[in-house]
């Protein structure tokens, strides 16, 4: 009788451990945030299930707050770039999206529709990348305008390969800093394009 009682108690103890705490299954990471490198930018990679693509993004990074002779004063410019890869992979880039964020104290310094053409000068090569679309325009203590352009991956690679890169949108002209170029190169290195 003692052996039957011992067997039943062992069985109950074992079965209670099986059913008391369900096993945890490791879930795949929805996004991977890569820390800041020497360039100071933050790069994030995540899969978007709605659009069925993996997106690697350089988050908003300041370019300049110093106005030039062609740029209106008291305007800060930042950029954000994302590489879009179809499916769950980083071997092929469909396109790149470039966002320019303009923040100014003067609410009237917005880009009219005819002043949204993006021109990028890479070293001595001029790339005319088309008209940027308005993503958002907010007026609070600062006027914030976000413009976006979808560009080919080849155009993005040309920008990344440059030593001196200047961008112009309407009357706004600015040069990317070395840290901006390093961050863009770092973003490009996150994809594994087979040659």
Q: How far is CA 89 from CA 35, 41, 145, in A?
A: 21, 23, 32
| pTM as predicted | 0.77
Q: What is the pLDDT of residue 75?
A: 85
pLDDT at 40: 86
pLDDT reported for residue 27: 34
Helix then strand then coil, % of the chain, to nearest 5: 20, 40, 35
Instruction: Give pLDDT tens digits for 40-49.
Output: 899 999 999 8
What domains are defined for the chain? 28-189 (2.60.40)
pLDDT of res. 182: 96
């Amino acid at each position: 009788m003692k052996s039957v009682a011992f067997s039943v108690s062992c069985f109950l103890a074992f079965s209670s451990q099986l059913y008391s705490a369900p096993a945890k299954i490791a879930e795949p990471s929805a996004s991977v945030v890569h820390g800041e490198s020497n360039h100071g930018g933050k790069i994030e990679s995540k899969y978007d299930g709605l659009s069925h693509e993996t997106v690697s993004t350089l988050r908003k990074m300041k370019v300049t707050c110093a106005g030039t002779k062609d740029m209106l004063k008291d305007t800060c410019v930042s950029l954000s770039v994302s590489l879009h890869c179809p499916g769950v992979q980083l071997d092929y880039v469909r396109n790149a999206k470039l966002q320019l964020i303009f923040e100014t104290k003067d609410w009237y310094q917005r880009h009219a529709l005819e002043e949204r053409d993006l021109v990028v000068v890479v070293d001595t090569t001029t790339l005319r990348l088309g008209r940027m679309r308005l993503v958002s325009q907010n007026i609070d203590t600062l006027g914030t305008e976000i413009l976006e352009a979808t560009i080919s991956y080849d155009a993005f690679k040309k920008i990344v390969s440059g030593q001196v890169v200047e961008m112009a949108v309407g009357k706004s002209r600015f040069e990317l800093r070395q840290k901006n170029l390093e961050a863009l190169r770092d973003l490009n290195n996150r994809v594994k394009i087979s040659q």
